[in-house]
Each structure stands twice: as structure tokens, then as C-alpha cells.
Amino acid sequence: MATTHNVTMSATPRDAGRRGAGEARAQEPAIEVNGLTKRYGAFEALRGVDLAVPRGALFGLVGPNGAGKSTLIKALVGALRPSGGGVRVLGLDPLRERAAVRRQLGYMPQSPALYEDLSARDNVAFFGGAHGVPDLRRRVEEVLAFTDLAARAGDGVATFSGGMKRRVSLAAALIHRPPVLFLDEPTAAVDPALRARFWDLFRSLAASGVTLFISTHLMDEALLCDRIAILRRGRIIAADTPRGLLERGRTRLTVRRGGVDEARTIGGRPEDLAAALHPYGLAREIGAVAVEAESLETVILGLIGEE
Amino acid sequence: MNRTLRVARRVLQQLLRDRRLLGLSIVAPLAIVYLLKLFFDTMPPGFNVARYAVPVAAFLVHFLAFLLCAIVLVQERTGGTLERQFINGFRRHEIIGGYLLGYLGLATLQAVAALAEVVLLFGLDYGARTLLALFAVVWALAIASVMLGIFVSTFARRESQVFPFIPLIILPSVFLSGLLFPFIPLIILPSVFLSGLLIDSDRLPAWAELLGRLLPLRYANTVIQELIRPGGALGNVWGSLAALGAYSLVLLLLASRTLPETE
Ligand SMILES: Nc1ncnc2c1ncn2[C@@H]1O[C@H](COP(=O)(O)OP(=O)(O)O)[C@@H](O)[C@H]1O
Ligand SMILES: [Mg+2]
């Protein structure tokens, strides 16, 4: 892996140029969403979403099925016209500045969205061809190696397992070295080993400066992101770092004093723990201290449930 | 490479990789023409075989181009590859153009094979000039068929949810998709009866004659009948030829409206 990600995703020359162009641009978030709404008839799939994703972040959009994750991502990649509000990707409007935006973003849809009759190689080359990727043949082999598909590159996608199709789909999203990547539930229905491998790939992409926007309905994956937003019924109900969210949870503190367990529930912040321990000092009679924090999954489910 | 050509190449790759589809689209017309020959051989002497032979070949090319194009495009819509193309920077006109080029490539193969078989089997002695003109008409019809396929693919997706059964009427069990069910009979059956292929248009009641005018096969058939008539000349039917062209143009506009780049 270490050998593959440096050739694949180092910041593009385009990216470097833009960064040099001015501090102001570099400070600007990679992705901005302002008051975004989307209506399907009377149904509101998105009800005023606000978000900002800094450049180079690995951003997780967490939410149950039907929350509006795919709808939000489609609005960001310019596949969907918002009913209200707006989005910007690298400062550009995905609908008005279509051509410029499309060169800069990669999109992996929720369904594989591949040509079953074509080989993995032909699929990736076809989508790469739309971008006029220089030295396309070499680049295709490079992304196929990065996604561990080199051995099966010539086989028809129809013969692939679900996990392999997802890798082809990821390769197709990476082909033109986009500085911003949108991945819609890339790890849904993927076995645990491949899931871990996928997150390694995402991490290595983020390390090379790519901004990743990843949706998931698996709450535990949120822990692997730099920042998380929780989407529920078309609204963002929390946006924070994984640590910040964990601190919103509760902690079960058990202190054994003089052989007797005293248990209570305190807040999730480190300060809460310190404050709870102050009265005890470090007296000899404290025989044991146990701290049991809520998992991120529990915290998120709690947030989703309490709205 | 130009993006239109990339779409065309991809469409052809898909057709070539799918041996079943390719086999059917070349072998099926040949087999049907052969069956037709057996059928016509049972007719009493003096029966005008020529009146049916070439139009049937044209019909087969029309039907298959329409059907294959519609099937592949419905798959693109439901499978998400259409959206993915747009997001990767393919434009609407490039996709339509690519489809047209790709399917014309296939239609050319079909037309050559089917026309050659018809001419050989039925011992038709048309001159090179007539053959070339016939070929051109079949080609023009194929363009209209592709446009019709693109246009119809929009509705097929929705209708498939209403009609989840697959009673295929024309080529039983050949096309497995079923996504297109209501449109196969809707477009193809009227084509057979109202285009003048089986029944001369002037023997049809007025309403049926008018309905036939909505179908591209009617214009192609008129031109073909004139071309194979002894002493026939293209000049006598230029109106029908123009109508075929206009038909493709109108469908092109309709088809491009049914391929929105954003939801
Ligand atoms: N084209 C559409 N027409 C009507 N409703 C839609 C459409 N697309 C999505 N929805 C509805 O919008 C809501 C959000 O969908 P989606 O964004 O796919 O959710 P998620 O990706 O979080 O599972 C769902 O209730 C879904 O049924
Ligand atoms: Mg979704």
C-alpha cells in the first residue's frame, strides 16, 4: 500500500497551482452547503442543510437509510437541482460551472453504476476518457493496482463479486486524480476485511491532500473520520469531530472506596471525569476506578433518537 | 479521442462483449428471413414475393435497432451509468451522438447481412444502383429507430413497474429484459400492420392510414416499394424520404429532452 498511494494521489499540478494562487482560496472550505433544500412533490428530502468541509478533510456523513445522504451528495456533484439554497465545491457552483467542477471531483455512486458487459479496465478507461486524462492507459493500470484489481482487470464486471464491483467503481472515481471525492456508502454490504482495506485507502488519499466526503449508515465508521455530520430526515442534527461527539455521551464512573463500589453517571468530557474525581483525592482507600464511556455508535443513535 | 466517439466505441464494445445479444442481432434476422423464404415457397405461383422481401429485411433492422438501443439505454438509466456519464463530463449530445454512431455500425452489419440474404434467397435481380438506394433507406430507417429507442426508454422504466409480466409477441423469449414490454407491441405491432408492409396503405381505413403516418416504417416502406417497382424512381417518393428524415429530426429533439443532465 505504501508503494501505491504516493504515485496515485499526490496533489495534482492543478491543485498546487490553485493553492499558490492565493491564501484566501486555500482558506476557503473545499465543500460548502448553504440552506440546501430538496423537495420531491410535497416530500422534503433535504430541509435546510448547512455544512462546511475544510480542504484535505476526511468528512463523514452519517445517517440512517432514507435520511437524505444520497440526495445531498447528488446535489454536491451537480446531478440534482436544489429546490432552495446552494452548494459550492472548491468555490464553484456544480450546476453553473459544470465543466470546471467535474474535472475536480470524483463520484462513487451508491450503486456500482458500471457496464456489466465490459471489463474492469474498459469501464475505468471509459470514464477516464471523458476527462481527457493524459496518458490514460498508464493511469488506468495505476488506479487498478491501487484498488487491488490488477489481476482481474481484463475480466467482465458481470463476473465480479459485490466487493470487487465497488473497487472498480472506486477506481473509476479516482481515474482523473480529483482533489475532491464523494463516496456514497462505499462500504455498505462489504465484508469486514475489505472494509478495513477501503478505510486504509481513504486515509491514504486524505493524507495526500484529497478532500473526502463519505456517507455511511454504519455508525462505527464515523470514528475513522476527521469530522462527522449526522443527517436525520433531511436535517443536520450534529456536526463535530468524533471526539467532540463522544464527549456528548455519558460515562459510567465506578469508584471503589473502602471496599464498596460507588457508581454514577457523569458527562463524557475529560473535565467531567476530573471534576468527578476531585472529591476523592488519591486516598489509599480508593481501591479501584473504572470508567466506561458510551460508544460513538450509542452516542450517535442517542442523538438521532432524541430529536 | 472525441467524447462522442468514446460513447460509440463503448456501445459497440458492450454489444460485441455480449455474444448472445450480438448473435441474436445478426443471426436472428438471417433466420427469420430464411423462415420467410420457406413460407413464401408455399405460396401459389405468381405471388409477388419481391413486394415483401426487402421491406421485411428493413423491418428487422428497424425492430432490432430500436429494441437493442432501448434496452441498453433503460439499463443505463436504472443502473446509474447514465448519471455517472453526465457527472464525468459527457454531454447529452455526445451520448445521443455516440449511441447513433454505435447502433448505425450495428445496423450497417445487419442491413448488409439481411439484404444480401434476401437478394440471394429470393433471387432478386436489382441493379447496383437500386441496391445502394435500398441500403440508404434502411440506414435512414435505422437512424429513426435509434431515436425512437432513446425516446421510448424514458417511459419504459416507469411502465415496467406497472406491467411486471413479459409476454413478448414478436421474437418470443429472445429479449429477456422485459423492461420494455408495453412498448414492443405498442410500436412494433402497429408498424407491421399500418406501415404498408403487409397491407397496402391505400386499402386501410383513414384512421389507420393516419396512425401509420406516425411510424417511421411507413415512410421507409413507401420508398422501398417504389425502388423495387420496375421503372420506379426515387424522385417519385422524395416526400416520403424527406418525411423519414424529418421524423428522425423530431425524435432527436424529443429524445434529447428526455435525457436531462440533472434530476
Ligand atoms: N427521485 C425521488 N423522488 C421521490 N422521492 C425521493 C427521490 N429520491 C429520493 N427520495 C426520497 O428522499 C429520501 C432520501 O433519500 P436518499 O437521499 O436516497 O436517502 P439515503 O441515501 O440517506 O438513504 C427518501 O425518503 C427517498 O424515498
Ligand atoms: Mg443513499
**Rg (chain A; Cα; Å):** 22
pLDDT bin (cut points 50, 70, 90) of residue B1 is low
Query: Does residue B50 contact residue A64 with C-beta atoms inside 8 Å?
Result: no
pLDDT bin (cut points 50, 70, 90) of residue A175 is very high
Q: To the nearest whole angstrom, how far is the Cα of B175 from the nearest Cα of chain A?
A: 16
ipTM confidence score: 0.83
- Nearest one of B180, B185, B129, B130 to B157, comparing CA atoms: B180
Ligand 2 centroid distance, CA of A184 (Å): 7
pLDDT bin (cut points 50, 70, 90) of residue B65 is confident
Q: Using the predicted structure, report yes or no on whether residue B190 has a pLDDT greater than 70.
A: no
Does residue A178 line the site of ligand 1, with CB under 6 A? no
The torsion angles phi and psi of B237, rounded to 5 degrees, stand at -125, 25
- Among A160-169, A187-196, A251-260, B245-254, the range with the most confident prediction by mean pLDDT is A160-169
With beta carbons under 8 A apart, name residues in chain A contacting B18.
117
Domain boundaries, chain B: 2-258
Judged by CB atoms closer than 8 Å, whether chains meet at B84 and A109 is answered as yes
On whether any CB of chain B is under 8 Å from the CB of A97, the answer is: no
Q: Using the predicted structure, report yes or no on whether residue B211 has a pLDDT greater than 90.
A: no
Nearest residue (by CA) to ligand 1, atom 10, is: A45
pLDDT digits (tens, 9 = 90+) for A39-52: 999 999 999 999 99
Q: Give the model's pLDDT for residue B154.
A: 73
Question: Which of B13, B83, B87 shows the shortest C-beta gap to A102?
Answer: B87
Average pLDDT across chain A, whole number: 88
What cell was used for B85? Answer: 456519464
Q: Give the model's pLDDT for residue B204.
A: 64
What cell was used for A271? Answer: 473535565
Q: In one letter, which amino acid is A238?
A: A
CA distance B160 to B137: 32
Range in A208-212, B116-120, B201-205 with the lowest mean pLDDT? B201-205
pLDDT digits (tens, 9 = 90+) for B5-22: 999 999 988 888 877 777
Q: Using the predicted structure, report yes or no on whether residue B114 has a pLDDT greater than 50.
A: yes
Q: Give the model's pLDDT for residue B205.
A: 67
CA distance A286 to A268: 22
Residue, of B159 and B188, whose pLDDT is higher: B188
pLDDT bin (cut points 50, 70, 90) of residue B193 is low
Does residue A111 line the site of ligand 1, with CB under 6 A? no
Sheet holding A286-293, edge to edge: A260-267, A250-257, A286-293
Torsion of CA B209, B210, B215, B216, to 10 degrees: 80
Residue with cell 478495513: A196
CA distance A34 to A31: 10
Ligand nearest to the CA of A184: 2
pLDDT digits (tens, 9 = 90+) for A200-220: 999 999 999 999 999 998 888
pLDDT bin (cut points 50, 70, 90) of residue B157 is low
Residue A295 DSSP class: P
Q: Give the model's pLDDT for residue B200.
A: 65
Interface test with A, best of B88, B92, B261 (most A CBs within 10 A): B88
pTM equals 0.83
What CATH superfamily is the domain A30-240? P-loop containing nucleotide triphosphate hydrolases (3.40.50.300)
Listed in order, strand segments (DSSP E) in B171-235 are none
- Nearest one of A198, A161, A193, A197 to A183, comparing CA atoms: A198
Range in B4-13, B166-175, B178-187 with the lowest mean pLDDT? B166-175
Q: Using the predicted structure, report yes or no on whether residue B172 has a pLDDT greater than 60.
A: no
Question: Which of A78, A107, A118 shows the shortest C-beta gap to B262?
Answer: A78
Query: Does residue B89 contact residue A99 with C-beta atoms inside 8 Å?
Result: yes
Domain boundaries, chain A: 30-240, 249-306
DSSP lists the bridge partners of residue A256 as A261, A288
- Among A25-29, A45-49, B20-24, B193-197, the range with the most confident prediction by mean pLDDT is A45-49
Rounded average pLDDT over A83-95: 94
